[in-house]
Amino acid sequence: MTTERKKDLLLMGALLAILVLFFAKILFTGKIIRAPDITNEFYWTIKHYKEMGFLDLFRVHLRAGWDWLTNGGTTEGGGTLSLQFLFYRSLIFWLFPAPANVAWFIVFHLFVGGAGTYFLCRAIGTGRAAALLGGLIFAIAPENASLINAGHAQKIATISFAPWAFYFLERGYQSRRTIFFLASAVVLAIQFFNMHWQIAFYTCLAIGAYGLCRTAGIIAGDPDSRTGKGIARLVGLNAVILCFFLSTVAISLIPLADWSRETTRGLQSGSNQGQGGLQVEEAMSWSMPPEEAVTFVIPGFFGLSRQEGGYDDPSHGTYYWGRMVFTQTTDYMGLLPWLLAPLPFIFRRDRYAWLAFGAVVGGLFFSFGKYTPFYWLLYEHFPGIDHFRVPKMMLFVTTLGLAVLAARGADLLLDDEVRATSAFSRYLAGAIALVPALLALLGITMAARPYVMDLLSPMITQPTRFEQGPALVAQRLQTIQREIGIAAAFAAVYGAVLWSWARGWFSRRALPYLLVGVFLVDVGRVNAKFMLLQDVPQKVKGEKSPVVEFLAPMPKTGRVLPIDGSDPMEYVSHGIPVMFTSNPVQIARWQDFLESFSFDSAMPDMMNVRYLVHDAQQYEDDRQALGPRYVPVFASPDGSRLVLENRGVLPKAWLAPSALLLSDPRQILGIMQQPSYNPRSFAVVEEQPPIPMPPPMAQPKGDAGEVTVTRYEANDIACDVRAGRNALLVLGEKFHAGWRARVDGTPTEIHRVNYILRGVYLSPGRHRVEFTFDPLPFKVGKYLTLTSFAIFLLMVGREWLLSRTRRGGGE
């Protein structure tokens, strides 16, 4: 190993050690991060790793699956199976003790992001100390790290790969070697595999902008690249990253694209009928109000307590009271990077300075969302923008650009020639001037209180769900004043360090350590308010509650519907199917069904809802509305919860002897809501039946037949049917195009029935009907991805052989 590599590894070790110490509170604990997204969602998905054997962590099962336990049966078409390729992820959850393994997963990815930023800075020419500072900024800037407070583990994991994508792309432009473009594409695919698709999409936008600017700069500055051959090569290399990314990510992208068409953000959803996307109001929510840019210097200006999962520590000050709907994170990135960022523009305005500046400004203006024409233009004309609802999420690009600028600024700060210039003296004066500016602002808030209140009104007077009362305005003003004072204190410390170093009071070598030390205290103060812990909830521990104990033996062909506010995942974790689990994106028809859901109709019967879990006290109020069909069959020992049995529940499969053809979704849902509708008497279909089926009015006589479900598994269902006449076999399972059916071994079409269910037409006689989940989009994507992996491994092997040959020739 070369000396240069050893130095890089040593600094990576130092970066990791700093992060472990910095986040020790959440790493070395028996508690869990207090965030609903972790306790209600994420932790449930990773608990099973503790039960796996070591070798099982590295086994890959590439078959798209139907989740029969959650949300009445659901799937993403196999689009999330790519998580199996992230072996390190499985290893973290298996290796570290629960529940702190969630925190180790988060901190590991912050390290990955910091390391990527370090190598990106090194690739564009910064020194090692400056690059380490850049990596630290990206890893622990509260803009990224405070996502811990929201429980956004997947978002942090996805963000962490963005610097690496830029690193490999920049190496590709510098060397014009295909392997680096391929590596950048693979990193983008791995980022997508981490399942936060909005961050992945935003990274692709930023990579595209970087590639266009970098390509244009090369053509403008290099005569050889302006030739036809040079331009063709650059265009070809850019095409490589696009095409190879799409093929590598295909195992996720193709199934998810197919799945998303039917969701609440799909083609027939939102304000752009036929194009897809969210309603304008939802798509523009969580746009960062421009005035909140003040939090880049004064992090607590709009409040620092931002925990939506419960009450915060009173010492953390007032809750967020700005113009966003709510926020669980802060926009602060530390004062130091903003102080260092001007230096490249004063002394080294090269392409990297402008590219980093573009990342800072572009990410910031994108984050402003609805407050700028820029975002409106993108929303209306750029594909994909209208599918996401948090423009502010783009600030991770701003953080990366700022980290790069700060690293280059740190290099210039250590340059003796730079320090000797008059321009540096002016820069130093400007940096120090921040202190009196902040103190003046503090004086204004104290001396001109009525003016400040009028300026911030009506925001400052609005109550939150945590804070109300006449003292609210005074409390918020006190927080503003305290935060301005703290910001002025940190600005004074930074100014004192820079001024003392300029006067020669300490060595050049000591400067980076002093600045990093102050930076760690600065951001550590803020991050500490976003790293809240709690005891592991009883439901998360996996212990069975009395209600779960009662429901566990129920046949798996039935479902449970908790309506007492309890977490449905508590039941799912014990293998009990539930009808509904909350998801930010639902299948559009399922969302319609839920919004139309009525307990006195056949809707719960069709979905095989056998039990309701109800709050005992609330049940007394709801008893009459629920009617006699729902009968209490179990009460928890403390009397707080009741289990009600639905005596009208339908079997998993039944035969409908007649069919009503309707095409209007509102009419179909209207029939489903009617208490008089009996799914056994007729089915509502949306296409002309392929065999003669009498209308409901005909009232066919005689026995329609009987159905026996002989196999009921996640991906396979089998039924033995005796049909007395032409009939429609209806399953109490959602329709999905990925299901395939065979009748007596012959493939047959599955039809949409009763708005959301699936059915197969049968002629009279005995039949064997088999349903198998086997979506074509996943199979196509799987083989494309595996082929891309093979190509990439061959290219890596080729590079390794070439490097050995070069080393051998050199020797």
Residues 255 and 781: beta-carbon distance below 8 Å: yes
Beta bridge partners of 758: 731, 752
Determine which of 200-214, 260-274, 341-355, 509-523 has the lowest per-residue pLDDT on average.
260-274
User: Three-state SS for 274?
Assistant: coil
Alpha helices in 141-279 (DSSP H): 142-145, 147-150, 153-159, 162-175, 178-193, 197-221, 228-248, 250-260
Q: Which two tokens stand for residue 507?
A: 């060595």
> CA angle 433-434-437, nearest 5°?
90
DSSP states along 545-556: PHHHHHHTTS-T
In angstroms, what CA-CA distances link 652 with 303, 538, 557, 707, 759?
52, 33, 6, 9, 12
- Residues 537-552 have pLDDT tens digits of 877 766 788 999 999 9
DSSP state of 196: -
Burial of 60 (0-12, 13-18, 19+ CB in 10 A): exposed
Confidence of residue 810 (pLDDT cuts 50, 70, 90): low
Confidence of residue 493 (pLDDT cuts 50, 70, 90): very high
pTM value?
Answer: 0.92
- Residues 640-677 have pLDDT tens digits of 999 999 999 999 999 999 999 999 999 999 999 999 99
CA dihedral (42, 45, 50, 55) in degrees, to 10, reads -120
Look at residues 383, 86, 54 and name the one whose alpha carbon lies nearest to residue 251: 86
Does residue 310 have a pLDDT over 70?
no
- Residues 224-235 have pLDDT tens digits of 778 888 899 999
- The pLDDT assigned to 668 comes to 96
> CA angle 213-215-221, nearest 5°?
100
- For the beta carbon of residue 443, count every other beta carbon within 10 angstroms: 13
- The pLDDT assigned to 272 comes to 44
Long-range interactions of 179-185: CB distance < 8 A, separation 24+: 179/795, 179/796, 179/799, 181/237, 181/238, 181/240, 181/241, 181/244, 182/240, 182/241, 182/244, 182/791, 182/792, 182/795, 183/792, 184/241, 185/240, 185/241, 185/242, 185/244, 185/245, 185/248
- The pLDDT assigned to 464 comes to 79
- For the beta carbon of residue 789, count every other beta carbon within 10 angstroms: 16
- The pLDDT assigned to 808 comes to 67
Rama region for 125: left / alpha / beta (φ>0; ψ in -120 to 50; rest): left
Beta bridge partners of 728: 656, 761
- The pLDDT assigned to 271 comes to 42
Instruction: Express as a percent the part of the chain with pLDDT over 70.
Output: 96
**Tokens 């070069």, residue located:** 806
DSSP state of 370: G
DSSP state of 42: I
Residue partners of 483: CB distance under 8 A and separation at least 6: 298, 299, 300, 301, 304, 317
Residue 725 dihedral angles phi and psi, to the nearest 5°:
-160, 180
As separate numbers, helices (DSSP H) first and strands (DSSP E) second, the chain gives 34, 17
Does residue 214 have a pLDDT over 90?
yes
- The pLDDT assigned to 203 comes to 97
Alpha carbons 35 and 40: distance in angstroms, whole number: 8
Does residue 393 have a pLDDT over 90?
yes
Q: Report, as an integer, the average pLDDT of 418-446.
A: 94
Q: Report, as an integer, the average pLDDT of 39-49.
A: 86
Q: Which two tokens stand for residue 177?
A: 């070697």
Residues 214 and 359: beta-carbon distance below 8 Å: no
Per-domain residue ranges of the chain: 653-774
**Tokens 């209490």, residue located:** 632
- The pLDDT assigned to 305 comes to 77
Q: Report, as an integer, the average pLDDT of 560-564.
A: 94
Determine which of 433-437, 445-449, 647-651 has the lowest per-residue pLDDT on average.
445-449
User: Three-state SS for 120?
Assistant: helix
Instruction: Express as a percent the part of the chain with pLDDT over 90.
Output: 71
Residues 339 and 431: beta-carbon distance below 8 Å: yes
Look at residues 643, 581, 579 and name the one whose alpha carbon lies nearest to residue 615: 643
Beta bridge partners of 747: 742
- The pLDDT assigned to 809 comes to 60
- The pLDDT assigned to 307 comes to 63
In angstroms, what CA-CA distances link 658 with 661, 697, 698?
10, 9, 8
Distance, CA of 595 to chain centre: 25
Q: Report, as an integer, the average pLDDT of 509-523.
A: 92
Residue 617 dihedral angles phi and psi, to the nearest 5°:
-70, -40
Give the chain's end-to-end CA distance (angstroms, integer): 15
- Residues 576-612 have pLDDT tens digits of 999 998 887 889 999 999 999 999 999 999 999 999 9
Look at residues 197, 173, 212 and name the one whose alpha carbon lies nearest to residue 249: 197
DSSP state of 607: T
- The pLDDT assigned to 281 comes to 81
In angstroms, what CA-CA distances link 349 with 355, 365, 399, 418, 476?
10, 22, 20, 14, 41
Which H or E run contains 128? Answer: helix 128-140
Look at residues 498, 514, 494 and name the one whose alpha carbon lies nearest to residue 418: 498
3-state SS track over 678-733: CCCCCEEECCCCCCCCCCHHHCCCCCCEEEEEEEECCCEEEEEEEECCCEEEEEEE
Q: Which amino acid is at 745?
A: G
User: Three-state SS for 265?
Assistant: coil
Residues 325 and 285: beta-carbon distance below 8 Å: yes
**Tokens 């064997």, residue located:** 768
Residue 610 dihedral angles phi and psi, to the nearest 5°:
-90, -30
Q: Report, as an integer, the average pLDDT of 6-22.
A: 96
Does residue 189 have a pLDDT over 60?
yes
Residues 317 and 303: beta-carbon distance below 8 Å: yes
Look at residues 484, 494, 482 and name the one whose alpha carbon lies nearest to residue 430: 494
- Residues 248-293 have pLDDT tens digits of 999 999 999 899 888 887 645 444 444 556 778 888 889 999 999 9
- Residues 737-788 have pLDDT tens digits of 999 999 999 999 999 999 999 999 999 999 999 999 999 999 999 999 999 9
Q: Which two tokens stand for residue 725?
A: 């006449």
Residues 181 and 241: beta-carbon distance below 8 Å: yes
Does residue 319 have a pLDDT over 90?
no
- The pLDDT assigned to 583 comes to 81
- Residues 65-109 have pLDDT tens digits of 999 999 999 999 999 999 999 999 999 999 999 999 999 999 999
Across the chain, mean pLDDT equals 91
Beta bridge partners of 32: 534
